[in-house]
Chain A
């Protein structure tokens, strides 16, 4: 079988809320958030008729409760897609959404289907990371991993140990820039376009969740410097230079390039290639480095060919390591996260992959001079995920 070209035509997400009782979505089900995204994608793309959608693939780290029961199937039914639409769920923690996208893309590439919806959701208020997991005791008794490997903040501290030249101040500086870039993007109305407002129930009446709850445009270096380091005494990782706990859902529409031409929709991105790679769980934030090298090798490109990089900001230190390894300009390389990243927007685990693709689409539409871009994430328990995309609108 020959691989077919796979393109992305659109993406949309809910606002990202704060996890917990003060978050927008405390009384809203994760599957309803997915349904909202699916229906909005179809509303924005009327040429994609519901009966054309053949696969509905969703990433979710926790696959129980309102994220359980094969979310990809239940959400298709709840969204009113016809019974003929298949669906399934995947999990690769923070890269669950990107994995849903590359898996759906692979199906399309091999001709298994023509049109798919893929994305990710995480309601971390309802499903705190690892809450109902039961790690095998062998991990610790046989010292397969250190205790630190299961606490993401500690792995970020470990990464600092590996790169002693990366200081806390550098990470704070990076984080401040992320907040500033997000504030500017909001001012320019770029983020609002990607968010579908959702009316959500609260005990004080229905409210409309139409913008992210986490961004702090008022952030200063002084403020960041004063934050506690919960993961280590005299540590470097603070709530200010990490991504936070959030609720959100994000999804995109993928199809074969031929199908896009046939139904007359404008393709935005073409999937050039992708790669996943494992690293030691204790330094999971290093994951994007080997994954990106592998993806570049697979596609025959070099980092210099990549004009736009959407790197998930689980922790600032992990981004600074990436910049250092690939020779990006610190603190601000114009190619990297031009709209800010997870430090400002928040990181509802599996939904971040689809958000990165949407941000890349935005950059590509503004920059027809760019030909290639990438989306990359680090993954808990030590993995990296990178997908490389071609700007179909490039000149």
Chain B
């Protein structure tokens, strides 16, 4: 807040005092830490508040409420689809139990450690050079 006072400087044996002169951080390492601290501090780095006109505020609110409605509908549809999928899983298992107990056993067998293949990737904006590996065999397991 306040400038630290400069130490009296002696040149040719006469002390000269310069009021208000800032003493610089002596050490480059210290300077770096001060800089890092200022990067972390949030003050003055906040973006300015957008000064929108009344019409644009109303437009923005309208857009946001429409977007909320849109996403809500989308989420509801997704959940609906999942519910249907779950129902058909249950139905299939019930059918299988009645028609073929052996297959039912196979279907209800759970792996102890269920893992997705490591080759699975998140889709990117552009497809890879080889979009689909047709003769994919999976990782080779070592056998003891």
A in complex with B:
no
